[in-house]
Chains A and B, each alone.
Chain A
Amino acid sequence: MEDPSRLLIVDDNEDILSTFYEFFNSMGYEVKTAVDGFAALKLLRDKSNFFDCLITDLVMPNISGVGLISIVKKEYPHLKIIAMTGYGDQPGALASEAEADVVLFKPIDLFKIENTVAELINQAKDNKKK
């Protein structure tokens, strides 16, 4: 069997975080969570090659989602990034500028995100094979 894909999910809303955790776990992913960009960055620096995909909220204390995306794109360019925002256009536009692979607007259908995650990870795997 193939190794499960590994996700890092970042959101300062614990309800959202646990919903995502449960959902992706049940879909067979290996999931780690962080409550803000700083906690996420520490996890990433600890295990830089561990994750396949990062799903992050944008408006968070300490290091915002936009900040996290900018850092990750520079330091871990292989990592796929999905940004989620419920805040209208401002942070979403900044996330695109920071080169998030996909920007989604809340409320988000969990199955839809899962589709996107699977697509991004497959893409990355295909690229690797080439």
Chain B
Amino acid sequence: MSTPLIGVSKSILKIKELINHVANTCLNVLITGETGVGKEVVAQNLYAESARSTKNFVKINCAALPETLLESELFGYEKGAFTGAHKKRPGKFQTADKGVLFLDEIGDMPMALQSKMLHVLQSGEFSPLGSDQEFKTDVWVIAATNHNLEESIHKKTFREDLFYRLNIIKIDVPPLRERKEDIPSLLEYYYRLYKSEYPDNHGSKPDSDIIAKLCNYPWPGNVRQLQNCIKKQMILNSWAKIIEELPQEHPESVPQIETDIRMNGAARPKINEINDDRTSIISKFVDLSTSSEKLFEDISLKKIKKLASDRVEKEVILFVLEKVGWNRSRAAKILKISYKTLLYKMNEFDISPPVK
């Protein structure tokens, strides 16, 4: 039932090894990475390799529910706790007892709930809404986010004490464009999977040419976007069309517009081109290849802001580091951040000095 962690890249192999070493410790885990990289797959693998694999794996998305609903989902409620609470309902902390509670999008959890969360993590106790009784719970908490929580702490949208309590083990899943060598095995795996799910579909497997093209694409929506492409292939059976429809990266479209301006002699690009330009910018941060329903779910200004600023930050850090010959304390001074912050960011963005 659970998806294996697919890939041959150094980073994926390291994650597998780490999972293997920590799955039985039940220490809190924080999984970070861009949207669509497979944070939940990592969580499921931790669970599957642990001694808790015979118990429940309970998932809750902290971004999808309004605060009050999230609270009652997590902690449960007594009959009559609020209007409409006709009967008692157990919370996720109860259903996940002795098992795993996977808190997805923890970075979006409202502050008030964060302090309740902290209380449970510290004491192992919680009380359902409308109850004055405290219940013991033994859950293994695995949290995931695509936010940079250190930044959120800075902006006072995430509690520092909760962060340190969750961040006991940190697993960062790099974006697909930084581990292109994983693309062929992902293609193979999902092609087989969808083929077995829909045996009547006749989408052909990608040949080596197509695989090379797909490996060169930056996959802003990561593994999820790749999965969607393979699903599409099952129906369309035209890799050429699918590749053509992949949202293109911004830099390629800029010169296009410039030449068009020159050719038309007009000062402004046409509406169409502005739209192309816009989609190409957006496509860097959101997977536009999904259905609009899914797309609207994925679009979040907060998330996009984070992805966009990360991208620029990474480039600036690399630029400065290269200028100062990878002297990190000098770079930190120039960037006007602390040495520790620089190291953290280098780690987060997977920046490492060129191998000598």
Which residues of A line the B interface, CB within 8 A?
Answer: 12-13, 38, 41-42, 45, 59, 61-64, 66-67, 70-71, 74, 86, 90-91, 94
Contact = CB atoms under 8 A, between A and B. Distances in A.
Contacts of A90: 160-161, 164
Interface string B163-191: 01101111110000000000000000000
Given A12-B343, A90-B160, A71 B25 contact: yes
B253 interface: no
B172 A71 contact: no
Given A12-B343, A71-B27, A94-B164, A64 B170 contact: yes
A64 B22 CA distance: 12
Given A94-B164, A94-B165, A70 B21 contact: no
Interface in B19-35: 21-22, 25, 27
Contact of A64 (B160, B169, B339): B169
A67 B347 contact: no
A63 B164 contact: no
Contacts of B169: 62-64, 67
Contacts of A42: 21
Nearest to A15: B329
Contacts of A63: 18, 21-22, 168-169
Contacts of B21: 38, 41-42, 45, 63
A72 to B, nearest CB: 11
Contact of A67 (B25, B161, B343): B25
B25 A70 contact: yes
A64 B343 contact: no
A62 B170 contact: yes
B343 A13 contact: yes
Interface string B301-344: 00000000000000000000000000000000000000110010
Contacts of B347: 12, 61
Contacts of B18: 38, 62-63
A85 to B, nearest CB: 10
29 contacts: A12-B347, A13-B339, A13-B343, A38-B21, A41-B21, A42-B21, A59-B340, A61-B170, A61-B172, A62-B170, A62-B171, A63-B21, A63-B22, A63-B169, A64-B168, A64-B169, A66-B168, A67-B22, A67-B27, A67-B169, A70-B27, A70-B168, A74-B25, A90-B160, A90-B161, A90-B164, A91-B164, A94-B165, A94-B168
A38 B160 CA distance: 23
Which are the 10 A-B pairs with shortest beta-carbon distances?
Answer: A67-B168, A90-B164, A67-B169, A67-B27, A61-B347, A66-B168, A63-B169, A91-B164, A71-B25, A64-B168
